C-alpha cells in the first residue's frame, strides 16, 4: 500500500496561505507520524507524497550541500535512482512553536550497495491551508565513528 493511498491528496498550495493555529496536543503526534511518512516517501521514491507535503517555496538542503526548491527536489527524486535500501529514525524530537513545528532526528540508512551511515536532519513544518507542510529541511551526514 502506498503512502498516497493512505492519505488523499490535498490540492491546496502554500501561495498566499495563512498559518492556522494548531491545538496544543496535536503537533507532536501528527508530526511524529508525518516524519515516518516522510522517510517512507523518500525510501519509496514517492514524489506525489512529497509534492503534497513540501510547501511550494520549501528549501531542502541535502547532505552534499545542494540547496533545492520543491520543483528541484521532485525532479531529483524522479531522475536519480533511489539509493536507499532502508531508512530508520532514532532520537526523534518534536518541538512546537505555535503553528510551526521542528522535527529533528538521526536517520540510520543503508544504501543499495550495502554501505551504511547516519545522517542528522531537521525539518520545519508549518500549518498552512489546514494541513502540515515542510517549509525547510536539512540533512547532514555524520562522520563515521573512529575505530579503536
Q: One digit per residue, pLDDT tens: the chain, 148 residues?
A: 333 333 333 333 334 444 444 444 567 889 999 999 999 999 998 999 999 999 999 999 999 999 999 999 999 888 887 788 999 999 999 999 988 999 999 999 999 999 999 999 999 999 988 899 999 999 999 998 766 4
Domain range for 120 is 24-141
Q: How far is CA 122 from the centre of its chain?
A: 8
Would residue 68 count as lying in a domain?
Answer: yes
Alpha carbons 143 and 69: distance in angstroms, whole number: 26
pTM: 0.78
- The CATH number linked to 71 is 3.10.450.50
Note whether 74 and 50 are within 8 A (CB): yes
Asked if the structure places residue 86 within a domain, the reply is: yes
51 in any annotated domain: yes
Q: Specify if 9 maps to a domain.
A: no
Which one, of 144, 100, 145, lies nearest residue 122 by Cα?
Answer: 100
**Measured between alpha carbons, how far is 88 from 58 in angstroms, rounded to an integer?**
23
**Total domains present in the chain:** 1
Q: What's residue 78's pLDDT?
A: 81
Hey, CA dihedral for 27, 33, 38, 39, is it positive or negative?
positive
pLDDT of residue 80: 80
Residue 127 placed within a domain? yes
Residue at 115 is within a domain: yes
Q: How far apart are CA 84 and CA 101, in angstroms?
A: 27
- Domain-located, residue 81: yes
In a domain? residue 73: yes
Cβ count within 10 A of residue 45: 14
Q: Which three cell numbers stand for residue 127?
A: 500549518
Amino acid at each position: 500500500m502506498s503512502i498516497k493511498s493512505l492519505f488523499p491528496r490535498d490540492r491546496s498550495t502554500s501561495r498566499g496561505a495563512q498559518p492556522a493555529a494548531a491545538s496544543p496536543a496535536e503537533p507532536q503526534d501528527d508530526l511524529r507520524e508525518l516524519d515516518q511518512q516522510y522517510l517512507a516517501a523518500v525510501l519509496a521514491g514517492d514524489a506525489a507524497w512529497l509534492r503534497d507535503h513540501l510547501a511550494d517555496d520549501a528549501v531542502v538542503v541535502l547532505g552534499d550541500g545542494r540547496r533545492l526548491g520543491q520543483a528541484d527536489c521532485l525532479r531529483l527524486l524522479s531522475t536519480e535512482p533511489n539509493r536507499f535500501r532502508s531508512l530508520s529514525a532514532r532520537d526523534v524530537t518534536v518541538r512546537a512553536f505555535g503553528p510551526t513545528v521542528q522535527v529533528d532526528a538521526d536517520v540510520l540508512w543503508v544504501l543499495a550497495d550495502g554501505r551504511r551511515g547516519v545522517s542528522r536532519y531537521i525539518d520545519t513544518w508549518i500549518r498552512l491551508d489546514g494541513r502540515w507542510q515542510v517549509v525547510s529541511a536539512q540533512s547532514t551526514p555524520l562522520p563515521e565513528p573512529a575505530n579503536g
